[in-house]
Homo-oligomer: A and B are copies of this chain.
Amino acid sequence: MSIELRQQIEKTVPLTNEEFELVLSYFKEKHFKKHQIVIHEGDHVPYNFYIVKGLMKSSYINPEGKEYILQFALEDWWITDPEAFHNQTKATLNIDCLEDTTAFALSLENKERLCKELKKMESFFSKKTTEDYIGLQKRILCLISSTAAERYHNLLKEYPGLIQRIPKSMVASYLGVSRETLSRLATA
């Protein structure tokens, strides 16, 4: 059930069985249904979620009600409203489920306790955040340097499995183009 998480951590730091048990003990298993809202704008953000099975998305909804998708998270990915989670402020993003989803939930308090108790976990989170940072920088480069068509094909190439599980209209939102434009790109 949690082999992937262990493997992910062990890409950075090796763990004994006991250590991994300790790590797991700080998480709380949570179950969500398709369409369920996990975090709503204005909420307190109690957890960072590691996705065991399923699919969530995080997005910003502007005053006119238009949704802009910041992230999809499927198996072995993490998702939260990072600013609200780390600064313990109110959420500006919304997080919901595109499928029935099982996640391991880690509170900020538990994250800090865990890092204190098991110093190498601090290295793991640090490395993970750095990798995520690099990913965002690449996405920014893509947004400022590529056309809508190039961005779409790049996404297809990078995450071929993702597109099958997501309505095209959401792919459009993630790429920063209208559904109609994406539809015209997809057939070309």
A-B contact list, 24 entries, CB within 8 Å: A60-B141, A60-B145, A66-B145, A68-B141, A68-B145, A70-B140, A82-B130, A82-B137, A86-B134, A119-B119, A122-B122, A122-B123, A122-B126, A126-B126, A129-B130, A129-B133, A132-B133, A133-B133, A133-B136, A139-B140, A140-B140, A140-B143, A143-B144, A145-B176
Contact A140-B136, Cβ < 8 Å, known A119-B119, A123-B122, A126-B129: yes
Contact B82 A134 (CB under 8 A): yes
State the Cβ distance, A121 to closest chain B Cβ, in Å. 11
A175 within 8 A of B: yes
**Interface of A, helix, strand, loop or mixed by DSSP:** helix
Counting chain A residues whose Cβ lies within 8 A of the other chain, the interface size class is: 20 to 34
Contacts of A130 in B (CB 8 A): 82, 86, 129
A187 within 8 A of B: no
Cα A126 to Cα B112 in complex, Å, equals 12
Contact B143 A143 (CB under 8 A): yes
Contacts of A62 in B (CB 8 A): 145
Within 8 A of B (CB), among A132-173: 132-134, 136-137, 139-141, 143-145, 173
Which of A68, A123, A136, A137 has the most CB atoms of chain B within a 10 A radius of its CB? A137
Chain B residue nearest in CB terms to A69: B144
Which of A70, A130, A136 has the most CB atoms of chain B within a 10 A radius of its CB? A130
